[in-house]
Amino acid sequence: MLRENPESAAVRIYGTNISATAPALMACDVAEVEPYRVNDHVYAEFALDFCRRHGIDVLIPPRRLDALAGRAEEFARAGTRLMCAPPAAVNVLTSKSRTYEAARAAGIPVPEWRVVRDADQLRTAVEELGRPGESLCIKPAGEYSAFGFRIFDDGPLRLRDLLEAPRPLVSVTAVADALKRAADEEEKVPSFIVMPYLEGPEVSVDTLSAPGGRLLAAVPRAKDGRYRLLLDDPEATGIARAVVEHFGLAYLANVQLRRLRGASVLLEANPRPSAGVYQTAFSGLNLPWAAVRLLVHGDPGELPPPRLGGRIAVTETAAEVHPAVTAPAAHGS
């Protein structure tokens, strides 16, 4: 979408990844390996050095936002504009529990939840949140993507369970035992969230906003098997607008919703572009390019009303992967 921009501007793309053979690097003109498992200061210094060495005009970080947010002036001195949400928003939105607390205080609909770190807290949360006919789930409270997500199911294994697609099921007892064992072995235990399992298709809203949180465009989409639906969903857009405005999000962000007892609630909000933002191209908008224009010129360019209500197919392709690396980055600690 950056290369096929509406202004036919020449774009040269530089990318980094912790793996030299990451398929995404095939889309880059220049690629490098970035440091893995380093602290925020080391990662920020790596990013600044990369931008200086390559004369980067715009940096769009999809991760490690906590290391980069608030450093816009440092990058500006290196000649690079940093596309990133404000540090306060990044600090809240990279924690699911802080996100829910702040959203609830702002009147944004969120599910009930409890934060747990040990077996006793887990059992109490399950007792308090459990409702007949509804399932509960558990997931890390921090920014772990879908890693660690499990649905509680204490029922016996049935034959049909063995014949269907596997689901991430776990018993309450098994999780409680794991938490107790970690505590007994003095292992560091992160915070987890226990909440209702939200059924139904997830609605993911890709947003473009001006600094300060003024929403400029929003494209809701949902999955339907191999298809993606571009939704005309005023309720989802309204919640996304409230999130963007309340947290003061800028440029590209993503708001994820699911339904609980018939109403849409916030699942999570990401102050960065989503992995599926490319699907919004079929709405007639080029959100990534509009965000770059907004960052560089203060103007996103023409933003026609998005074409919503359509369905697109997601297909797979295969390509041989070769390391696309100039030189390994130095690993710090």
- pLDDT above 60 for 326: no
Instruction: Give the pLDDT confidence of 173-192 residue by residue, as tens digits.
Output: 999 999 999 999 999 999 99
Closest CA to 253 of 294, 291, 285, 302: 291
Please count the CA atoms within 13 angstroms of the CA of 24 that sit on its side-chain side: 11
pLDDT grade for 7, boundaries at 50, 70 and 90: very high
The whole-angstrom separation of Cα 222 and Cα 257 is 10
List 221's β-bridge partners, or say none: 204, 230
- How large is the average pLDDT for residues 62-67? 92
Question: For the chain, which residues make up each domain, given as ranges?
Answer: 14-84, 112-196, 199-313
Token pair for 254: 């993503």
Options 3.40.50.720, 3.30.565.10, 3.30.470.20, 3.20.20.80; which CATH number does 199-313 get? 3.30.470.20
| Whether 333 contacts 38, CB under 8 Å | yes
- How large is the average pLDDT for residues 210-224? 96
- How large is the average pLDDT for residues 70-76? 96
- How large is the average pLDDT for residues 220-228? 93
- Which 3-state string (H, E, C) describes the chain? CCCCCCCCCCCCCEEEECCCCCHHHHHCCEEEECCCCCCHHHHHHHHHHHHHHHCCCEECCCCCHHHHCCCHHHHHHCCCEECCCCHHHHHHHCCHHHHHHHHHHCCCCCCCCEEECCHHHHHHHHHHHCCCCCCEEEEECCCCCCCCCEEECCCCCCHHHHHCCCCCEECHHHHHHHHHHHHHCCCCCCCEEEEECCCCCCEEEEEEEECCCEEEEEEEEEEECCEEEECCCHHHHHHHHHHHHHHCCCEEEEEEEEEECCEEEEEEEECCCCCCHHHHHHHCCCHHHHHHHHHHHCCCCCCCCCCCCCEEECCCCCCCCCCCCCCCCCCCC
User: Domain 112-196, what fold?
Assistant: Dna Ligase; domain 1 (3.30.1490)
Instruction: Give the pLDDT confidence of 38-53 residue by residue, as tens digits.
Output: 999 999 999 999 999 9
pLDDT grade for 331, boundaries at 50, 70 and 90: very low
pLDDT grade for 70, boundaries at 50, 70 and 90: very high
pLDDT at 291: 98
Measured in degrees and rounded to the nearest 5, phi and psi for residue 11 equal -125, 130
| Whether 282 contacts 1, CB under 8 Å | no
